[in-house]
Amino acid sequence: MMDSAPDRKRRPAVFLDRDGVLNVDHGYVHRLEQIEWCPDAPEAVAALNRAGYWVFVVTNQSGVARGYYDETAVRSLHRKMAEELADRGARIDDWRYCPYHPNGTVEGYRRISHCRKPAPGMLLDLIAAYPVDRGGSFMIGDKDSDMEAARAAGVRGVRYRGGSLLSLVEEALGQHQEPADR
């Protein structure tokens, strides 16, 4: 858990999927050189920070269960991504990932988990750990499983379909009840 947020007052949160939303999903991304930011992703995170939202990343990382990389690689990548974002004036308040998959090849990670999207576990854990105003919160994801996790956690789902993430964030910030769908 990386809690770099300066205060703990109740405020809405944005839950961001990682691969396919923050960075281009090249498949099992786990090294910094594989990171290709989605258009305007750092600027979108900075805009959410300025708007006063908690900003969280919630990402399925079945590559751990499949034996492609380990949890150390995931945590290391998140630290490096956080550094790159900080260099661009943006901050992620916390990163959560699910290393489990029911068809994994690594026995310790081969299981069904409440944290694997579409289950809402990662979102609910963050809502419990931070003073989140759930009513104003939303999830940005690129897959049906992200939208299902948002619905199950009681937050609005916003679908990212490519293009400027900043434009989608600005649109989503302007909407309070209707989900944005790109």
Q: Which residues carry out catalysis?
A: 17, 19
List, as own/partner pairs, every contact residues 146-150 make where C-beta atoms lie below 8 angstroms and the sequence separation is at least 24, other chains included: 146/17, 146/117, 146/118, 148/117, 148/118, 149/58, 149/117, 149/118, 149/119, 149/120, 149/122, 149/123, 150/15, 150/120, 150/123
CA 19 to chain centre: 9
Cα 115 to Cα 14, 119, 179: the distances in Å are: 17, 6, 23
The DSSP letter of residue 60 is E
Inter-residue contact 74 to 66 (CB < 8 Å): no
**133-172-142 Cα angle (round to 5):** 100
Inter-residue contact 179 to 158 (CB < 8 Å): yes
